[in-house]
Structure 1
Amino acid sequence: MIKRLTMVALAFIVSLNLGINGTFASENNNEDSINEKFGLPILVLGGSLTDAQKKEVRDMLGVTNPEMVEEITVTGEDLVRFIDGEDRNARMFSSAKITREEDGKGLVIEQVTPENITEVTDTMYANALLTAGIENATVQVASPVKVSGHSALTGIYKAYEVSGEELDTERLEVANDELNLATDLANEEGIEEEKVSELLADIKQAIADQNPATREDIEAIVEEQLAKLGINLSAEDRQRLIDLFEQMRSLNINFDNVKDQLGELSNKIQDKLGEVVNNEGFWQGVKDFFQGLVDAISGLFGDGTEDESTN
């Protein structure tokens, strides 16, 4: 009886693992053909990685043929070149593979190692990249060690520079400020990460729709979106949010150009928020399954064994 229950439990666990990791393998181990219009995908490796870690990252990002990518390294020197006031001695571990796409494709962000990117979500990356002026690309992010994930942004900027794109450094700095604010709101204010992304995307969408002409207009949009999402911020963070979007307004960032991508990003955020709710039922089912398994085993030996199962 115990052997049978054990086999059932193992089968259940294996089916979960195949369902999750099987998709991962099929999506990440195939190298696509080269789009001759844009050239090779660019693999950006963090300059602080050891040779062994670089090989690990190549494997993570599905790079089996070095001739199918253009490989570059990003360092603290690049960080200070793109972002004023940063530390040139910063350690860079986050890495990325960037594949430029045709117009209309939008931004597709995939964190290949989400367990090692501790602060930045894929929708946070997408929000910041749209602010920086980067669109229509597939971006995969990976790290072999636990990191915040911020340095991947610099690597993506360098990849575009190498490919011949001229990015506006003022926009890059605002995008960096946006990413810092997003992670701060999640960490310090305790707001759900996707909720933060939703707030930023919705404010941009409102800016595109309303074309605010003054700081007061920006304040009104920020207040409206905070109220709509039921988000309460400290006075300091509320001011940081207003200052951020006032910077965007003063730089004349035209979100009309990426309206479709903003809409698509909002849809992805809603899907992710929905997954959190839906997964509650799934994980309750997992809990019930194992609770039933424990109860069945306990029944074989009587009631003297204490239930030490954890949630």
Structure 2
Amino acid sequence: MFAAGATSVSAATSDVQKVIDETYVQPDYVLGYSLSSDQQSQTLSLLGYDSSKDTSVKTLTTSAYAKIMNVADDSSLQLYSSVKIQKLGSKETLTVDIVTPENITKVTEDMYRNAAVTLGIEHAKITVASPIAVTGESALAGIYYSLEKNGAMVSDESKELAQEELSTLSTINEANDGKDGYDANKLNVALTDIKSAVADKGDSLTKSDARKIVEETLDNYGLKSSMTDSQITLIVNFAINLSKSSIIDSSSFKSTLNDLKDSIVSKASSSFKGINVNFNADKALTASKGFFAKIWQAIVDFFNGIASSFSTK
């Protein structure tokens, strides 16, 4: 087995992107613990490992996975999906490349990208591979592990949010795959809009606000009718949890989301024909509140008029 990895080379910081920019001189590889020696070599080759210059290879053990994911350490855990993280220039966008799409059965590239933004990653290249068919969900733990070993303080809150997001997206996508009116690209773009609107509202977001934002956004992308109430509630709950997170306070959070959104729309342009991709869920929420305020005022005025007609002259 490869060693579990080097310790932090810099003072720990909560600025995840700063750690990537300053520490990832070489790409960092994190292999799943369950890989055999032959599978390790195969996976490294799939991830583009260059033995002449790449030296940073870590193994995500079951105990490390349990600690990261806040679950019981179980030696029967099967960890196969593996990742490579490498830095990019500040003007480049966050990218994810699944080089074995046939073996990552539940998570798409854009789902990983959405979750990575929630972790605080702004620009980096993440490559995912597995030599056998797996869901791919444990690869996210490999990203946490790499970041923490290189000096990033990834809060439990951020980990839980990113994992919740990935689980929500993958569960909805799996349940609706092939259903008329459903499109995974639209869901990923809808989530970028939802997260941007949540960032605008901050911790003042109410549960009713969250539901309105989610439903209005899904409706804009033609997804609402193809999703169940319980699936919509999963997104609403994620939105509420996100509103309490410090990640939305980052000055680059919304710009990174916009870059991700533009990238998805550009790549899957045919999916967005006739759709308002400039939809702003926060403005829709404000407009709806204004509409209901006008209705309420009309009701008040009506009853005030009745009362005044009975008043003594």
What is the match of residue 198 of structure 1? 189
Task: Give secondary structure in 2 for the equivalent of 1:68.
Answer: coil
Match status 1:148 vs 2:139: no
Match of 1:230 among 222, 236, 244: 222
CA distance in 2, matches of 1:205, 1:237: 20
Q: How does 1:77-226 map to 2 (within 5 A)?
A: 77-85=63-71, 88=74, 89-190=76-177, 191-211=182-202, 213-215=204-206, 216-226=208-218
Residue 240, structure 1, aligned to residue 226, structure 2: no
Q: Report deviation, 1:66.
A: 5.7
**What is the CA deviation profile of residues 224-257 of structure 1, one whole-angstrom value per residue up to 9, with x for unaligned ones?**
1011111122221221111111011122331642
Work out the CA distance in 2 between the residues paired with 1:86 and 1:201: 32
Classify 1:90/1:275 alpha carbon distance in 2 versus 1 (closer, same or farther; 3 Å). Answer: farther
| Mapped pair 1:41 → 2:36 | no
TM-score, length basis structure 2: 0.72
Unaligned runs of 5+ in 2: 1-20, 274-313
Q: Note the alpha carbon deviations across 1:106-140, whole angstroms, 9 max, x for none.
A: 31111111121111111100101111222321111
Shift of 1:79: 2.1
Give TM-score, length-normalised by structure 1: 0.72
Q: Deviations over 1:277-302 (max 9, x none)?
A: 99xxxxxxxxxxxxxxxxxxxxxxxx
Given that 1:212 and 1:218 are in contact with CA atoms closer than 8 Å, whether structure 2 keeps it comes out as no
Out of 54-63 and 99-108, give the one that drifted further: 99-108
Corresponding residue SS for 2:204:
coil
- Structure 1 spans left out of the alignment, 5+ residues: 1-34, 279-311
Conserved in 2, the CA contact under 8 Å of 1:46 and 1:73?
A: yes
Matched letter for residue 231 of structure 1: L
What code does the residue aligned with 1:114 have? P
The whole-number CA distance in structure 2 between the counterparts of 1:67 and 1:90 is 32
Q: How many equivalent residue pairs?
A: 244
The one-letter code sitting in structure 2 at the alignment partner of 1:81 is K
- RCO higher in 1 or 2 (8 Å CA, sep ≥ 6)? 2
Counterpart residue number, 2:285: none
2:247 is aligned with 1:253: yes
Residue 183 to residue 86, structure 1, CA distance change in 2 (3 Å): farther
